[in-house]
Amino acid sequence: MAERSRRPLFAAACAVLALAVLYAALVPILRPLDPSLVDFAMSRRPPGPRFPFGTDSAGRDVFVLVAEGMRISLGIALATAVSSALLGIVVGVTAGAFGGWWDRIAMRIAEGFSALPALLLTLLIVAMFRGSITAIVAALVLTHWTTVARAVRSEVLALRHAEFVQAARLRGLPPHRIIARHFVPVALGQALIGVVLLIPHAIWHESTLSFLGVGLPPHQASLGTLLSDAQTSILLGDWWLLVFPGGVLVLVTLSISVIGGRRQARTAAPEEVSL
């Protein structure tokens, strides 16, 4: 019954995410915008038929800017989530499969990264390479891989003494074959959940970094830079410069979180889903 009641919410989240991805992918192609062009005759236009999201102080179409910003923010978040999952798989599988000294060292390293303030660490790294997308992704990966590593290690530890794993050892299969055949498929399932759940988290972190002025440069559209530009414009009454980028940010991250939460619930309790 609980599963059925959540289906409309899940369907709505999928629809919102699909529309957002199409919006971010197609609008910048169909309506390319040069960020260096300035048209003060069209500046600060409120939303209307010609400009659905209005224009900014430079006369640029906010509808296109939000699409470009969401495409960049989603790209950074996806790269962060996939890289974090891959690193987490490598560390978690090897730590759980081999155990011993490597397990202890790997988990102490994970605990060390988890103990560090994530935002401060990312601010420090990104500030050293200001405006670099690679630095943003690397900083976010360093602060997000530990969750996947721990989840994967727990699953591998639960399988180490399973009968089919013991049978594989008795048949003389080398450790790398056992890892590839029995441990990696379980790790991929946990990593997929981790990727989905890390994407909204990475979007918020990237937006925060760009909002604070240490992420992407101001001339490069992202949800964070658009919200940063809206700080002064909102005082002049240009509410649309805050509402539309902020609304898109909230809708996209909430929809991904709903999808990821349902995936996690189905994995944790498959017997409830089948009812």
Give per-residue pLDDT as tens, 198-246: 888 889 888 888 888 888 887 777 888 888 888 888 888 889 999 999 9
Give per-residue pLDDT as tens, 45-70: 899 888 999 988 888 899 999 999 89
Homologous superfamily assigned to 8-33+53-266: MetI-like (1.10.3720.10)
Question: What 3-state DSSP class applies to 117?
Answer: coil
Q: What tokens appear for 139 in the block?
A: 């900083």
Instruction: Report the distance separating Cα 165 and Cα 178, nearest Å.
Output: 7
* Burial label, 226 (beta-carbon count in 10 A; 0-12, 13-18, 19+): buried
- Is the CB of residue 155 less than 8 Å from the CB of residue 190? yes
pLDDT value of position 274: 33
Alpha helices in 36-144 (DSSP H): 62-98, 100-115, 118-128, 133-142
Give per-residue pLDDT as tens, 116-172: 887 788 888 888 888 788 889 999 998 889 888 988 888 888 887 777 777 777 777
Give per-residue pLDDT as tens, 129-142: 887 888 899 999 98
Place of tokens 């609980």: 2
Place of tokens 């798989």: 89
Give per-residue pLDDT as tens, 98-115: 888 888 999 899 888 888
Q: Does the predicted TM-score (pTM) go above 0.85?
A: no
